[in-house]
Amino acid sequence: QYLLDNFEQETTICRENGGECKRDADAIRRALGLRTTTDPLFQIEKVFAKGKYMDIDPDNLDAYFEAVEEWESAVSMSNSMAFISQFGEYNPGGGADQVLKFLNESKKQVLAAEKSLGTIIRCLNL
């Protein structure tokens, strides 16, 4: 939620002493657990895979597995868009607007991932 509430600030890096500012997608990838082993959601899919062994209400099983699939899809798409944004300025016809376009697409997928994570948490009664 922090990333979404502070998206522009977290995806903008400025050089010291008032230098040039650039948009950067690393904050997105960190929030989704895709950068380092110290990221809070690092390899969370392994935890989700163990859901079949947890005591989940049978009425919530379909919703749980659907939410896990949606999570994986959203994270994959967000990661792709974040990665592509890093090269938006260098592509033909690119520029800061292309970087922003891909960052915004990545943000949409972060919103979808957040929704899926909420469903997973509810299904696990956490």
Give the pLDDT confidence of 63-116 residue by residue, as tens digits: 999 999 999 999 999 999 998 888 877 777 777 888 889 899 999 999 999 999
Q: What is the mean pLDDT of residues 33-44?
A: 91
In angstroms, the Cα distances linking 16 to 12, 20, 21, 44, 46 are 13, 8, 9, 35, 39
- In this predicted structure, the answer to whether residue 58 has a pLDDT above a threshold of 90 is no
Express each pLDDT in 3-31 by its tens digit. 888 888 888 888 776 677 888 888 999 99
In angstroms, the Cα distances linking 29 to 24, 26, 82, 109 are 10, 5, 7, 12
pLDDT for the residue 18: 67
